[in-house]
């Protein structure tokens, strides 16, 4: 149980710093959740994509095990749907043999919504079970008839999240254990001589409790329940951090391009697609910037002109998007951009996950070295004083 809790805390930290924490606030204005909404093609209940439909945010704690179960869930759905089974039939099979027992009840509720006449996308929004990025891609796949591709993309996404979190936890475990060992061992010599329990507790637990509180505060502040202004502040705070800042930006651009391509291929209006893809990117800065384009787009400005006019998008992204818009091959350009930024972002994030534990280990080693040098310096100083007095 203790190992599970420690794994959960470490997993939350890597998600907080990498910007990959799963946000469960529904996508704003994508489609109406009523049967007469955009998904059903009805004339009633249509939603202006620029109007915010706010609902309750949800936050979950994910460990590598959760990511692995989610990846297996989507992988099985991709296999079954690509083999010709309908989504409902595939879900019924998964309900009998789910990747984890905790999936049986949500799948049953999802099937209940679908059997009541709702689409898969509408059912997922009514249930609020999956993250917003998942729902956006599933919606796009449902509308375009590419459900198997959407499921496969999500399976790869969660497989990578699982692998990176496990690597980070595994690499960070030894420095953390070494740090705890040093904190308890070094004051023990003085405690053995004096027997002062209060002083020993102050030097050990007194150091660990504030550290645990800092970790708890970081986890709490990283929750998606907080306002967009706070998440925007955290993003700006981590922006200049070497490797990590660039990795976060690249991953956000990769998710933006991937979601944008899926939505455009699904037949969603280009202006609506930009807002929805900005939400799915997980970047408050991109989302805020895209939402500010409303008046300019209504006046006839093209998205490529707006992309060129902001520093949020690198030159490569701007030039490729403009080339795709002009040539009419925007979907191909977005696929290349998504693949490039995802690969580069993951490469940088892997480097960060590898070098952060090494940096922690180096800091711990330096601290231990300083304590050892201080101990022997004091010992020889005391020995010298004794010899001088004799």
DSSP per-residue string spanning 309-342: T-TTS-HHHHHHHHHHHHHT-HHHHHHHHHHHHH
What's 168-227 look like in SS3? Answer: HHHHHHHHHHHHHHHHHHCCHHHHHHHCCHHHHHHHHHHHHHHHHHHHHHHHHHCCCCCC
Residue with more model confidence, 26 or 317 = 317
What does the pLDDT average to over 252-269? 81
Which residue has tokens 């049986």? Answer: 104
Percent of the chain with pLDDT over 70: 79
Give residue 51's pLDDT.
31
CB neighbour class for 295 (10 Å; exposed up to 12, middle 13-18, buried from 19): exposed
Taking only the tens place, the pLDDT of each residue in 269-293 is 788 888 878 877 878 888 889 989 9
Token pair of 135 as six digits? 């729902």
Q: What is the pLDDT of residue 110?
A: 92
Average pLDDT over residues 148-173: 81
Q: Look at residue 56 in the predicted model and tell me its pLDDT.
A: 34
pLDDT tens digit string along 11-59?
443 343 344 333 333 222 322 222 233 223 333 333 333 333 333 333 3
Total Cβ atoms within 10 A of residue 277:
28
pLDDT of residue 6: 43
Whether residue 249 is predicted with pLDDT greater than 70 in this model: the reply is yes
Which whole-number Å values give the CA distances from 381 to 83, 370, 375, in the listed order?
Answer: 78, 16, 10
Percent of the chain with pLDDT over 90: 14
Q: Is the pLDDT of residue 340 over 90?
A: yes
337 has a pLDDT exceeding 90: yes
Please identify which residue in the block is written with the tokens 């979190």: 165
- pLDDT at position 242, please? 85
User: Residue 289: which of 313, 324, 314, 260 has the closest Cα?
Assistant: 313
Give the pLDDT confidence score for residue 341 in this predicted structure: 92
Query: What's the pLDDT at 94?
Result: 92
pLDDT at 8 (0 to 100): 42
N- to C-terminal Cα separation, the chain: 57
Confidence of residue 107 (pLDDT cuts 50, 70, 90): very high
What does the pLDDT read at residue 167?
Answer: 77
pLDDT (mean) for 319-325: 91
pLDDT of res. 20:
38
Report how far residue 348's alpha carbon sits from residue 340's, in angstroms, rounded to the nearest whole number: 12
What is the pLDDT of the chain when averaged over all its residues? 76
Neighbour tally for 166: CB within 10 Å: 20
CB atoms within 10 A of CB 194: 10
Q: Which residue is listed with tokens 């007194």?
A: 206
Q: What is the pLDDT of residue 322?
A: 92
Residue the block writes with tokens 């469960």: 24
CA atoms of 40 and 237, how far apart (whole Å) = 42
Give per-residue pLDDT as tens, 76-101: 999 999 988 889 999 999 999 998 88
Comparing CA positions, the residue from 65, 94, 73 lying closest to residue 161 is 65
Q: Which of 241, 291, 251, 280 is nearest to 22 (CA)?
A: 280
pTM of the model: 0.61
8 Å CB contact between 169 and 10: yes
pLDDT digits (tens, 9 = 90+) for 114-147: 999 888 888 888 887 887 668 877 877 787 677 8
Measuring CA to CA, which residue among 195, 187, 82, 57 is closest to residue 141?
82
Q: Which has more confidence, 349 or 71? A: 71
Residues 312, 317, 319, 321, CA torsion sign: negative
Tokens of 94: 């998964």
Q: How far, in Å, CA of 265 to CA of 357, rounded? A: 41
What pLDDT, on a 0 to 100 scale, did the predictor assign at position 245?
85
Residue with tokens 């904190």: 183
pLDDT band at 228 (very low <50, low <70, confident <90, very high): low
pLDDT at 10: 41
- What per-residue confidence (pLDDT) applies to 216? 80
Task: Spell out the domains of the chain, with CATH numbers in brackets.
Answer: 2-159 (1.20.81.30)
Predicted local confidence at residue 271, as pLDDT: 81
């Amino acid at each position: 149980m203790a190992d599970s809790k420690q794994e959960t805390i470490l997993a939350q930290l890597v998600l907080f710093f990498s910007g990959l924490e799963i946000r469960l606030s529904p996508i704003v204005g994508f489609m109406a959740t009523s049967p007469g909404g955009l998904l059903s093609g009805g004339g009633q209940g249509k939603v202006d994509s620029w109007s915010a439909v706010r609902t309750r945010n949800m936050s979950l704690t994910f460990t590598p095990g959760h990511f692995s179960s989610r990846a297996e869930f989507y992988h099985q759905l991709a296999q079954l749907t690509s083999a010709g089974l309908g989504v409902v039939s595939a879900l019924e099979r998964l309900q009998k043999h789910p990747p984890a027992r905790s999936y049986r009840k949500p799948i049953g509720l999802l099937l209940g919504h679908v059997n009541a006449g709702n689409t898969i996308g509408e059912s997922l929004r009514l249930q609020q079970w999956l993250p917003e990025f998942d729902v956006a891609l599933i919606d796009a796949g449902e509308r375009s008839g590419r459900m198997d591709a959407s499921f496969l993309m999500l399976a790869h996404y969660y497989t990578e999240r699982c692998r990176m979190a496990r690597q980070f936890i595994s690499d960070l475990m030894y420095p953390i254990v070494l740090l705890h060992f040093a904190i308890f061992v070094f004051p023990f010599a003085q405690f053995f001589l004096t027997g002062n329990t209060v002083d020993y507790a102050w030097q050990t637990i007194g150091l660990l409790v504030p550290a645990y509180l800092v970790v708890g505060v970081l986890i709490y502040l990283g929750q998606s329940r907080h306002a967009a202004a706070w998440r925007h502040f955290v993003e700006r705070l981590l922006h200049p951090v070497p490797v990590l800042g660039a990795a976060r930006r690249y991953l956000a651009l990769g998710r933006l391009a991937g979601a944008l391509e899926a939505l455009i291929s699904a037949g969603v209006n280009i202006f609506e697609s930009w807002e929805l893809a900005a939400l799915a990117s997980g970047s408050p800065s991109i989302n805020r910037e895209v939402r500010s384009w409303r008046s300019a787009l209504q006046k006839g400005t093209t998205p490529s002109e707006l992309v060129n006019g902001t520093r949020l998008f690198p030159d490569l992204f701007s030039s490729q998007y403009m080339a795709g818009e002009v040539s009419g091959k925007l979907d191909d350009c977005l696929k290349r951009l998504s693949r490039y930024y995802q690969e580069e972002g993951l490469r940088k994030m892997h480097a960060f996950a590898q070098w952060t534990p090494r940096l922690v280990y180096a800091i711990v080693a330096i601290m231990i070295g300083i304590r050892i040098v201080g101990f022997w310096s004091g010992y020889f100083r005391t020995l010298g004083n004794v010899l001088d007095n004799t």
